[in-house]
Structure 1
Amino acid sequence: MSSKVVLITGTSSGIGLAAAVAAARAGFTTVATLRDPRRADALRKAAEQAGVELDIRPLDVTDAASVADCVAGILADHGRLDAVVNNAGAGHVGTLENESVDKVREVMEVNFFGVVQVAKAALPHLRATGGRLVTVTSVGGVIGQPFNEAYCAAKFAVEGFMESLAPVAASTGVSVSVVEPGAVASEFVANVGVDRETAVAGAGAYAPALGAYLERTQAMFASAAQTSAEAAETIIEALTAERPAFRLQTSPAARGFVAAKLADLDGTAVQALTSAWIA
């Protein structure tokens, strides 16, 4: 296992940080990447506390040159690439009437096209090693959620892309999986940057619904969120299982949530569920 090399994106905090440390513990040579190297202090501290070594490198998934340089550097220094964990992404709260189409494109660029760009650069090298392509999506990639239109659209796109790619990649020996977290207690939510009072005040006709949604979401993350380390365990399963499933949820709550959608042929159950969040 010590010879296997994994590239993980978005490791400055949260699930990505926990996954990088867990992968190193599992014996992988772990290349932990982040857009801004100045934000690597928490990652270095976590690695030191865990007694593991990480190869920390800059990578902006929205920049083609950055992606190409990172993959080339890994091949030059380590000679191979056995796995990729696409974790980098950004949350977003908003609704169509109150935001620009450019903002929706920006969310897609980070959460969808960034994943595609990294996967494309990595695939030839994963074919060479019979490797694995693992992408962290979300239960929001299965169930559309109020005020998460752009974010869920991006995650739905990732799920559809990877579900379509999986059998094609498998024909060349590459395993493709998606990991679907539910609520995770990490900096991800804080990084969305929503001030409840300001957001509701500017929401116009949608103010009551947005207020109800934010109140419910904040309560859920405060009481029912799993830890980043717990979510990272599922990523390690996708990296190490003999035959990993295509779709893996990170908690019983996430499994139940996804199951509700997959059993809902006409959409009635999901609409009833999510409408209650903004009542």
Structure 2
Amino acid sequence: MPGKTVLITGTSTGIGLQTALAAARANWQVIATMRNISKAGALEEAAVAAGVAERIEVRKLDVTDPASVRECLEAVVAEHGTLHALINNAGSGHVGTLETDGVEAARRVMEVNFFGVLNTTSAALPHLRASGGRVLAVSSVGGIVGQPFNEAYCAAKFAVEGYLESLAPVAATVGVGVTLVEPGAVASEFVANVGIPDDRAALAERMGPYAPAMDAYLTRTAGAFAAAQSAQDAAAVVVAALDAEQPPLRVQTSDGARAFVAAKLADPDGAKVIGMTSTWVAS
């Protein structure tokens, strides 16, 4: 889609960085946003190496700050005329449990992973209506299957899934598509940033009576991430959905992710649900 503009949040590392590169290779004009633009070096270097630097613009955007979102969107539309797509990728993880970590930890994760998606999507929708564009959100298999010690993260992703699944048929009536992309384990910096200390003894002290369960969880998770999908492969699925003529409501990024959600979903791409709920808003 040459000449079309996509705004991507959380592009300093991982899936976001790779999605920015892949979208630029697919001839999108990429607005690559991040909360701290001092961390833009890795993306900028990769863009030069890939020969797509002229199609990637780095801008500051904090998804938890509506004023930051509004300022960024206004500048993008003023300079590019409109916006054709939004990819909500920014997120933060948290490993812990309610009794030891409290409600505030969950609130912080929800602020980024759920309300951040709402902040950017609500600001982008008027422009996406005008362009007949689409909203994508990088969710997670954790938005389908709750996972031990990921209570806050999974709750936020469940909320994103429920909100966008509900929004999808409504947005479709005004020409805007909605897609949820669900990765499983991905080899990226995200895992290193979820707050697990290297000192297992300190972690055990923090977890108290939950320490044996946490130790078992970390052992299992290390095995899962040993066979993790690359961020590049996950990003390729995101951009395929971005370019698809009629993308599904849900798309998983790997066979492992599809198998994982299949334990719970009888409608893995969301076609049955959207087929049903779309009739509720048909004029």
**TM-score in same-fold range (> 0.5):** yes
Distance 1:40 1:25 in 2: 18
2:212 is aligned with 1:208? yes
Distance 1:238 1:263 in 2: 21
Distance 1:45 1:257 in 2: 35
TM-score computed with the length of structure 2 as normaliser: 0.91
Distance 1:199 1:176 in 2: 39
Q: Which residue matches 1:175?
A: 177
Q: Which residue matches 1:267?
A: none
Query: Residue by residue, what CA displacement relative to the aligned partner does 1:180-203 show, whole Å, maximum 9, x if unpaired?
Result: 000000000001120250222321
Identity of aligned residues (%): 62
* Structure 1 stretch displaced more, 147-156 or 195-204: 195-204
Structure 2 residue identity aligned to 1:94 = G
Distance 2:57 2:242 in 1: 18
Q: Give secondary structure in 1 for the equivalent of 2:126.
A: helix
Structure 1 residue identity aligned to 2:218 = L
Q: Which residue matches 1:220?
A: 224
- Per the TM alignment, residue 43 of structure 1 is displaced from its structure 2 partner at its CA by 0.5
Distance 2:59 2:103 in 1: 32
Query: Residue by residue, what CA displacement relative to the aligned partner does 1:124-169 show, whole Å, maximum 9, x if unpaired?
Result: 0000000010000000000000000011000000000000000000
Distance 1:260 1:241 in 2: 27
Aligned match of 2:92 in 84, 90, 107? 90
Residues 39-188 of structure 1: matches in 2 within 5 Å? 39-53=39-53, 54-188=56-190
Aligned residues: 263
Q: Which residue matches 2:9?
A: 9
Distance 2:153 2:91 in 1: 10
Query: Residue by residue, what CA displacement relative to the aligned partner does 1:76-109 show, whole Å, maximum 9, x if unpaired?
Result: 1111100000000001101010012111111100
2:238 is aligned with 1:235? yes
Distance 2:66 2:204 in 1: 37
How much is the aligned-residue C-alpha RMSD, in angstroms?
1.1
Distance 1:74 1:252 in 2: 36
Q: Which residue matches 1:271?
A: none
Q: Give secondary structure in 1 for the equivalent of 2:42.
A: helix
Q: Which runs of 4+ in 1 moved over 6 A?
A: none
Structure 1 residue identity aligned to 2:153 = Y
Structure 2 residue identity aligned to 1:81 = L
Distance 1:9 1:94 in 2: 25
Q: Which residue matches 1:247?
A: 250
Distance 1:12 1:133 in 2: 20
Structure 1 residue identity aligned to 2:110 = M
Gaps of 5+ in 1: 265-279
Q: Which residue matches 2:36?
A: 36
- Per the TM alignment, residue 242 of structure 1 is displaced from its structure 2 partner at its CA by 0.9
Distance 1:248 1:200 in 2: 37
Distance 1:218 1:58 in 2: 33
- Per the TM alignment, residue 263 of structure 1 is displaced from its structure 2 partner at its CA by 4.3
- Per the TM alignment, residue 115 of structure 1 is displaced from its structure 2 partner at its CA by 0.4
Distance 2:220 2:180 in 1: 27
Q: Which residue matches 2:276?
A: none
Query: Residue by residue, what CA displacement relative to the aligned partner does 1:28-54 show, whole Å, maximum 9, x if unpaired?
Result: 000000000100000101101110021
Distance 1:228 1:99 in 2: 29
Distance 2:266 2:248 in 1: 19
